[in-house]
Amino acid sequence: MIRAVRTLVTSSITFALASSSAWAASSAVCSDPAAHRSVWAVSWLADTDVAPAQAPALTPSRRIDWTAVTTPAALQGQTGILYTEGQAATQERPMAVEYSDGYSLRRKIHWYASFATVPLFIAQYAVGQKLYDGTASESTRSTHSALAAGTAALFGVNTVTGVWNLWEARKDPNKRTKRVVHGILMLAADAGFVATGALAPESEEGRISGNRSTHRSVALTSMGVATVSYLIMLVGR
């Protein structure tokens, strides 16, 4: 009987102590204003009262020495950015090249006159072949002379305009190699046409003196060189 009473008293005391602890905890929660705040309410001033989180201090082994990467030499081989010796990090802007109004005019003359090149060569070859075979009439000889004069005039005009513009465009790197090759080939063709005229056979009392084969070979070679030079500038213009 006494043992049962003792057990009952002990259980009552334990329950009382547990109830008082729970009441104290609930009172502390209810006294906090944040516990009654609505989850949908936004307080724009709430974040200003909270101290920002402090970043952990870097240990000496984790610190980065930024002074080691301030020069291009230090960057080379470390970050994948390669710099050649003496090369600046920023490249210079390309220099603008200004052309005169005369350049544009000469270019137009040179361009439109060049369209007569191939037709002149075809006509000259057809007439010259008759002369070479000995079946040409007097009118064919006159036509051959007229075509030769037209070829000389064409290449005279295009040589002056071409060389003049080639010199004015000497500082322009755009298609410079193409222009130089075209100019050199055309000057070689000019020399060939001069030699062709000097090697032309002459007719004396119905007889033709001079080497017709050499005259023909030099003429065809000059035409071929001029045609290649013409196509170089025509293709990819």
pLDDT tens-digit readout, 161-178: 999 999 999 989 998 999
- Kindly indicate the confidence band of residue 13, based on its pLDDT and cuts at 50, 70 and 90: low
pLDDT tens for 128-137 read 999 988 888 8
Alpha carbon distance 57, 85 (integer Å):
39
Higher pLDDT, 54 or 227: 227
Predicted local distance difference test score (pLDDT) of residue 99: 86
Higher pLDDT, 225 or 96: 225
Q: Considering the chain, what is the average pLDDT of its residues?
A: 76
Interval 37-66 mean pLDDT: 53
Predicted local distance difference test score (pLDDT) of residue 116: 95
Alpha carbon distance 161, 167 (integer Å):
10
Interval 181-206 mean pLDDT: 87
Query: Is the separation of the CB atoms in 196 and 219 below 8 Å?
Result: yes
Predicted local distance difference test score (pLDDT) of residue 234: 86
Alpha carbon distance 65, 84 (integer Å):
24
Under DSSP, the state recorded for 208 is E
User: What are the distances in angstroms from CA 117 to CA 67, 104, 181, 226?
Assistant: 67, 21, 18, 8
